[in-house]
Amino acid sequence: MAGEWIIWHNPKCSTSRFVLQALRDGGLEPVVRDYQKDPPSEAELRAVLAAAGIPARGLLRRKSPAFDELDLGGAARSEDELVAAMAAHPEVIERPVVIMPDGRARLCRPKETVFALLEAAG
């Protein structure tokens, strides 16, 4: 998938819809991955976390009921445990994540973060 714009998207999320539309309005047609129907593997999650320069906690959706049910807020949770939980329960992955053609990735929260990506894309 090198060379493509990719968005990990949840069509029910207004922020995710905003970011997808902003990419399209910017002249891009990203590969749209409904990450809840097609969850990323642990390896994909690790690659995106590395590309975004954030720890696993930075990609957790704290508003998800599963976040509390799985006790993911516990300080004792390791990176490996959090990545495994996200792979097994994609509803706890924050969205949207945009992966750029050069391999960098960004969690677009707040949603206006997408404009910096578009500006950098030129």
The reported pTM is: 0.93
Which residues of the chain, if any, have pLDDT below 70? 1-2
- Write down the architecture of domain 6-121 according to CATH: 3-Layer(aba) Sandwich (3.40)
To which residue do tokens 């939980």 refer? 85
Task: Specify the pLDDT at position 1.
Answer: 44
CB 103 within 8 A of CB 49: no
Of 5, 8, 10, 13, which is the active-site residue?
A: 13
Is 108 one of the catalytic residues? no
Q: What is the pLDDT of residue 66?
A: 95
Cβ–Cβ under 8 Å, residues 11 and 34:
yes
- What whole-number distance in Å separates Cα of residue 92 and Cα of residue 88? 9
Residue whose C-alpha is closest to residue 87's, from 44, 53, 51, 116: 44
- Residue 2: the pLDDT is 52
Token pair of 100, please?
């750029």
